[in-house]
A and B are shown apart, each in its own frame.
Chain A
Amino acid sequence: MKELWRDRRAAFGLAVLLGAALVAILAPAVAGDPIAQHDIVATRFLPPLSSDLHGDFHLLGTDRFGRDVWARLAYGARVSLGVGTLAVLVSVVVGVAVGAAAGFWRGWAGTLLLGLTDFALALPRVVLLLLLASLWQPSAGLVILVLGLTGWMTIARLVHGEVRALAVRPFVESAVGLGASDLRVLVRHILPNAMTPVIVAAALGLANAIMLEAGLSFLGLGVQPPTPSWGNLIASGRDTLVNAPWVAAAPGVALVLVVVGATMLGDAVRDRLDPALRR
């Protein structure tokens, strides 16, 4: 961990992600009400760093209903980061289960699972997301489930490779020789050693999931207003690009920062874990 902080990419990534998480958790303390709209005429379309007639300061300005953009951004972080994190958790659980099973129980079950993984990998993810979002009522829960269930393939591939390599190692064979059950060998001896690449894939998957959630919400198929999410914030700023470009710009910049942060963190961890890649 200490070593990670010394890598500038990792330090940046950790700082951004921790910062965003803090803002999300402390949203009620660091920002005002994201939905309240009082005195629309006096407070709408205020540029960033201005105060309204009532003396309230607006760090990032206000939107067309006079709502504070910073407050909506902070509360939107709760939704965007929360949905992204939970979706990645679903992906990790499914991916580890499929990958471990395919790598450990070879034969027809393994072949079937690998075939399923390759099939899922070949699907255009966004198309599938759109299809599912159109069939069911859009909600945060659906987005989590759908993002999670369309993002596990890379993790399954990685875990499969690791498990196959580990299964023939002496320490695993000795555990089998001692009479440990299949499940015990897999869960207690193999999986703990196979988790490192999963962390990298999860970091990159988080970046992807946050971006896709925003995309779905942008199209109106994800988290529904007035609940703010970075995606539907960008969408709401779309109509006021001329009068108030900051409404769309602010959530986009936040999104890019978090995605860059997660990507850089993933890159740094990968380089550190893989001595062959160390440059």
Chain B
Amino acid sequence: MLLLLLRRALSGAAVVFGVLTLMFFLLRLAPGDPARLLVGPAATAEQVDAQRRTLGLDRPLPAQYGSWLGRFMQGDWGTSIATGRPVARTLAEAWPATVRLVGISLLLSYLLGIAVGVLQAARGGRLDTTLSVVTVTLFALPGYWLALMLVMVFTYRLRLLPAFGAAGFDSDFLTGGDRLADRIRHLTLPLVTLTLIGIGGTARYVRGAMLDVAGSPFVAIARAKGLSPARVAVRHVLRNALIPVVTLLGLSLPALFSGAVFIEAIFAWPGVGRVLVEGVVARDYPVVMAATAVSAALVVAGNLLAEILVAWVDPRVRG
């Protein structure tokens, strides 16, 4: 068990390292000279050369890579071209918001998705067909579009919920319950958007996993013993169907995170996704690279967590 986790952690670290390497060389491959960009269009050739030496761009590529990686590992992620702030601080402020949004949405969409999937697999018939249409539609909804439609209804038409940021402008002056209520109101729309889409995918998968297990002989025996359908569904089928579902949890993290990038951009949610999108639009390379690394690390950490969960659910994996 410990050995397995250690191996997974190592391969996770390898993924993050790979992302960093990939990023470095992509950045060097891309058109545009950072030195020229920094000194401006009116600079002479000598000035560009000087800037190039300051940035270390005149050194051989492997040497550049080595020193860049060293600095990155030490937490020196440079300063943002657009804002002049240290990139590390911007991201340190951003990642908890992303984890909060993605985490709560993951929890809700798994709870509700499992409930819907179990209901479909256990009941079958018309209800199953209807819910299948609903879940495939939810699954197919582009997050940013669903977000716009929800904003149109709940913010513009009904004037019920805010569609911008994680807290109101007056949040600092609120106390206790009011402050919490303000936070929750701001969380609602991004959370509902992400969760609705998550439910679609999870329910589809749970239904399939349940039906795969339902054909097994031990389920027939449980039925033959005269157990109630609900008991068979929950105690016998769901327990075994949960193993692939928990595995999916790890695999769906990159997708969920990707979805969150769009949602954060639309709702101005102060997370890594918004930092990334703003960095990309402003061509703020230090920010983009660091945000990419942080999101890769978050996904790897989530996968590791799912790995532990699988081992917990399925004794055979622990071996």
Contacts and interface: CB of A to CB of B under 8 A. Distances in A.
A241 B152 contact: yes
Contacts of A197: none
Interface stretch (A40-48, A180-188, A217-225): A217-225
Given A127-B258, A131-B288, A218-B262, A260 B136 contact: yes
B10 interface: no
A127 B275 CA distance: 11
B145 A255 contact: yes
Interface stretch (B18-26, B41-49, B106-114): B18-26
14 contacts: A122-B300, A123-B299, A127-B258, A127-B296, A137-B31, A214-B142, A219-B277, A219-B281, A234-B144, A234-B148, A241-B148, A252-B142, A263-B136, A264-B136
B280 A221 contact: yes
Report, as a range, how many residues of chain A touch the other chain: 35 or more
A219 B29 CA distance: 23
A220 B281 contact: yes
Interface of A: 118-119, 121-128, 130-137, 207, 211, 214-215, 218-221, 234, 237-238, 241-242, 245, 248-249, 252, 255-256, 259-260, 263-264, 267, 277, 279
Interface residues of B, number: 52
Contact of B142 (A128, A211, A263): A211
Which of A125, A214, A260, A264 has the most B CB atoms < 10 Å from its CB? A260
Contacts of B14: 119
B220 interface: no
B200 to A, nearest CB: 10
Interface in B239-298: 251, 254-255, 257-259, 261-262, 265, 276-277, 279-281, 283, 285, 288-289, 291-292, 295-296
A248 B148 contact: yes
A122 B299 contact: yes
Contacts of A118: 11
A242 B163 CA distance: 14
Nearest to B279: A134
**Interface-centre pick from B148, B277, B291 (highest chain A CB count, 10 A):** B148
B254 A122 contact: yes
Given A125-B258, A126-B261, A263-B139, 5 more contacts: A122-B299, A126-B257, A126-B259, A131-B280, A218-B142
Interface string B210-254: 011000000000000000000000000000000000000001001
B140 interface: yes
Between B14, B145, B279, the greatest number of chain A beta carbons within 10 A of the residue's beta carbon is seen for B145
A256 B141 contact: yes
A132 B149 CA distance: 29
B77 to A, nearest CB: 15
Contacts of A211: 140, 142
Nearest to B133: A260
B305 interface: no
Contacts of A123: 15, 19, 254, 296, 299
B312 interface: no
Given A135-B30, A219-B281, A124 B258 contact: yes
Contacts of B29: 135
A118 B257 CA distance: 18
A242 B156 contact: yes
Q: Which 5 A-B pairs have the closest CB atoms?
A: A126-B258, A135-B30, A259-B140, A134-B280, A252-B145
A122 B16 CA distance: 9
